[in-house]
């Protein structure tokens, strides 16, 4: 313990954060391409530095290189580390938030739903200043996101849509299945569409997954993602089908709520990294498998997903 007077100097911020990595190229690709950080300095085989906000710097070093030499002194670390980056979050005003009640049977592929409160819809004006490479839309109810907003976002980036909310209507708190009356017009502005098998049937009238996926593509969708619960998923793009397996959880099935959201987060993440559709789909499926083992949002890491992909021998492919 230090036996000295406490300084009256006030620490305002952490200016630099150092991390130690195994691959500088992979590190630069992730932080520059995926997270959008600017590279401010780099030295091959040693380090790459990123600007974070106005006054902070993230320093990525190869530990094997920095443990040698005297620039300024040898330093490095092995094993897991941790740091956190802050992002700006826009909270939009609404009288209420959506309050869903999900009731599952023993088969977590099926559920019944009630809606106790509804939120105000999003507007074009609220999102005019939002910039992104991909806008992922996940409406919970049919009137959450108007067609005009989809059109507006399509002019600024890739539009990804989980269609489920457009196929739900609330009557006396009960969720009723409906068709989407402007689907053909809206899907012309959607690049990536995710639907479950039952949602695909409502949209297209087809029970055959491949016929349904082809119809959705004919309406303008570039990537059609059909999820099949415990039977895996199917991705259709440019006339090619990709059969994605479902992976067996190592633990118990706890909560399927949010598995579709988790799947799409993993899929879009891999798309941004430049992964092929098969790899992106399998990463997404593995990520959803880890999520179903606990309640709440996915809290694992990319390493957890990759470990499941490399170790899981129990896979279920759809026969669709």
CATH number of the domain to which 265 belongs: 3.40.1190.20
Residues 48 and 183 in one domain: no
Residues 149 and 76 in one domain: no
Q: Per the domain annotation, does 102 fall within a domain? A: no
Residues 161 and 68 in one domain: no
pLDDT at 317: 61
DSSP designation for 124: T
Q: How far apart are CA 225 and CA 284, in angstroms?
A: 11
DSSP designation for 107: S
Q: Per the domain annotation, does 184 fall within a domain? A: yes
Q: Per the domain annotation, does 50 fall within a domain? A: yes
Q: Per the domain annotation, does 4 fall within a domain? A: no
Residues 69 and 189 in one domain: no
- Extended beta strands in 184-270, E state: 192-196, 223-227, 233-237, 240-244, 246-247
Q: Is 311 exposed, middle or buried (0-12, 13-18, 19+ CB in 10 A)?
A: exposed
> pLDDT digit of tens for each residue in the chain (320 aa)?
555 565 567 777 888 999 999 899 999 998 998 888 999 999 988 899 999 988 889 999 988 888 876 666 778 887 778 888 888 888 889 999 888 887 777 766 667 788 888 899 999 999 999 989 999 999 999 999 999 999 999 999 999 999 999 998 888 888 888 999 999 999 999 999 999 999 999 999 999 999 999 999 999 999 999 999 889 999 999 999 999 999 887 777 777 778 999 999 999 999 998 999 999 999 999 999 999 888 888 888 898 999 999 887 667 666 55
Q: Per the domain annotation, does 2 fall within a domain? A: no
Residues 49 and 162 in one domain: no
User: Of 84, 106, 132, which closes a domain?
Assistant: 84
pLDDT at 177: 87
pLDDT at 70: 62
Which pair of tokens denotes residue 311?
């170790």
Range of the domain at 25: 12-84
The number of domains in the chain is: 2
Which pair of tokens denotes residue 71?
């620039």
CATH number of the domain to which 51 belongs: 3.10.180.10
Residues 152 and 70 in one domain: no
Q: How far apart are CA 102 and CA 253, in angstroms?
A: 15
pLDDT at 85: 83
Apex CA 310: angle with CA 307 and CA 314, to 5°? Answer: 110
Residues 76 and 148 in one domain: no
Q: Per the domain annotation, does 1 fall within a domain? A: no
Residues 40 and 155 in one domain: no
Residues 17 and 138 in one domain: no
Q: From edge to edge, which strands make up the β-sheet containing 56-62?
A: 16-21, 56-62, 47-52, 38-43
Q: How far apart are CA 297 and CA 270, in angstroms?
A: 19
pLDDT at 67: 81
Residues 133 and 71 in one domain: no
Residues 233 and 308 in one domain: yes
pLDDT at 223: 98
Q: Per the domain annotation, does 160 fall within a domain? A: yes
User: Of 84, 99, 132, which closes a domain?
Assistant: 84
Q: How far apart are CA 192 and CA 134, in angstroms?
A: 10
Residues 159 and 240 in one domain: yes
């Amino acid at each position: 313990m230090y036996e000295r007077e406490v300084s009256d100097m006030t620490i305002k911020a952490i200016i630099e954060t150092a991390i130690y990595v195994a691959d500088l190229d992979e590190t630069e690709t992730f932080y520059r391409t995926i997270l959008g950080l600017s590279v401010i300095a780099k030295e091959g085989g040693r380090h790459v530095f990123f600007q974070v906000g106005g006054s902070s710097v993230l320093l990525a070093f190869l530990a094997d290189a920095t443990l040698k030499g005297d620039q300024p002194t040898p330093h490095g670390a092995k094993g897991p580390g941790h740091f956190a980056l802050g992002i700006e979050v826009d909270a939009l005003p609404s009288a209420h938030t959506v309050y869903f009640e999900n009731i599952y049977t023993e088969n977590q592929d099926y559920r019944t739903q009630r809606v106790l409160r509804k939120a105000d819809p999003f507007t074009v004006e609220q999102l005019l200043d939002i910039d992104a490479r991909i806008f992922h839309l996940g409406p919970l109810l049919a009137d959450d996101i108007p067609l005009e907003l989809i059109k507006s976002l399509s002019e600024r980036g890739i539009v990804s849509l989980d269609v489920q909310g457009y196929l739900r209507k609330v009557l006396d708190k009960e969720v009723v299945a409906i068709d989407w009356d402007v689907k053909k017009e809206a899907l012309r502005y959607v690049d990536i569409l995710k639907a479950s098998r039952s949602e695909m049937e409502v949209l297209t009238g087809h029970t055959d997954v491949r016929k349904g996926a082809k119809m959705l593509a004919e309406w303008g969708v570039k990537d059609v993602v059909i999820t099949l619960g415990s039977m895996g998923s199917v991705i259709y793009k440019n006339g090619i089908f990709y059969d994605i397996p479902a992976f067996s959880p190592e633990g118990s099935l706890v909560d399927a709520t949010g598995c579709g959201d988790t799947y799409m987060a993993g899929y879009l993440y891999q798309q941004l990294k430049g992964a092929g559709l098969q790899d992106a789909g399998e990463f997404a499926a593995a990520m959803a498998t880890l999520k179903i083992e606990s309640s709440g949002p996915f809290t694992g890491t990319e390493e957890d997903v990759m470990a499941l992909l490399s170790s899981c021998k129990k896979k279920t492919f759809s026969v669709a």
